[in-house]
Amino acid sequence: MQEEYYFYEPKLGHGLKHDPINAIVGPRAIGWIGTKSSSGTLNLAPYSFFNLFNYRPPIIAFSSLGYKDSLRNVMETGVFTWNLVSRDLAEQMNLSSIEQAVPEFEFAGLTPLDARNVDAPRVGESLVSFECRLTQHLRLQDINETELDTWMVFGEVIGVHIAPSCLVEGVYNTSHAQPVLRGGGAGDYFTITEAAKFVLRRPK
Ligand SMILES: Cc1cc2nc3c(=O)[nH]c(=O)nc-3n(C[C@H](O)[C@H](O)[C@H](O)COP(=O)(O)O)c2cc1C
C-alpha cells in the first residue's frame, strides 16, 4: 500500500519551510536576458522561469513576475538576447539580478557585446548567446480568468553564437559549459557534468 503522500492545495498554502514548486520543477535552465531600452540603456537579468518551446524555428520564452525592465525593453524594441550562464559566471549572474537601477553589466563586471542582427547586448563572457526577436507575449491568468501580474515573452532565435570549446567534433557538448541550473529554496543551484549523462532512444 502506498504511504500517505503530503498533499496541499497551493491556493491554501504549502505548509512547508519553502515553497516546493520550483524545487520540484527543477533544476531549470536560466534565461539570462540582455535588452536595451528605447533610450539606449543596457539591461541584463536572469529569469529561471525560462525554457525552449519549439525546435524549428527555435522559440524560447521567459516569464516576468511583475512588469520588469527586461519585459518593458522587449516590448519597446521587439528584441532580446539569451546568454548561457556557465558555472564560472554564477556569481555575476546573481549580481545581475539586482533590483535597483544600476547598470548590470558594469555592476557584475561583464562585457556587453553588440549582437549581429538585433539591437540588444549579449554577454561577452557567455559561451553561448542567442539573438531573439519577440514573436508573442502573454499575460497569464488563473483558473478564474483573473489576470495575474505575470507575463510570458516568446522570442524566435534568429542567431546563435557558440564558443568553439563547446563543439566537440562538430557536436554541441551540453556539459562542457557546466550550465547553471536553478533549483528551489532561497538559493539552490545545480550544474551538470558528463558523468550525469545517460542516453535513451525513443520507441519506434
Ligand atoms: C537565478 C534567478 C532566477 C530568476 N528568475 C526570475 C524569473 O523567472 N522571473 C522573474 O520575474 N524574476 C526572476 N528573477 C529575479 C530577477 O532577475 C530580478 O527581479 C531582476 O532585477 C529583474 O531585472 P529587470 O527588471 O532588469 O528585468 C530571478 C533571479 C535569479 C537570481
Domain total for the chain?
Answer: 1
Residue 94 lies in a domain: yes
Q: For residue 1, what pLDDT is reported?
A: 74
Residue 31 lies in a domain: yes
Torsion angle, alpha carbons of 92, 123, 98, 120, to 10: 180
Residue 53 lies in a domain: yes
> Which residue CA neighbors atom 20 of ligand 1 most closely?
97
Q: What cell numbers appear for 101 in the block?
A: 537601477
Do the beta carbons of residue 43 and residue 63 sit within 8 Å?
no
Residue 115 lies in a domain: yes
Do the beta carbons of residue 92 and residue 108 sit within 8 Å?
yes
Residue 18 lies in a domain: no
Read off the CATH number of the domain in which 97 is found.
Answer: 2.30.110.10
Ordered mean pLDDT values, 10 residues apiece, the chain (204 residues) = 94 96 97 97 98 98 98 98 98 96 95 98 98 98 98 98 96 96 96 95 95
> Which residue CA neighbors atom 31 of ligand 1 most closely?
94
45 lines ligand 1 (CB under 6 A): yes
Residue 202 lies in a domain: no
64 lines ligand 1 (CB under 6 A): yes
| Structural domain containing residue 147 | 27-196
Residue among 97, 104, 148, 150 whose CB has most ligand 1 atoms within 8 A, to mutate? 97
Alpha-carbon distance of 111 to 46, in angstroms, equals 16
Residue 204 lies in a domain: no
Question: Letter for the amino acid at 81?
Answer: T
**How many contiguous H segments (helices) and E segments (strands) does the chain have?**
4, 14
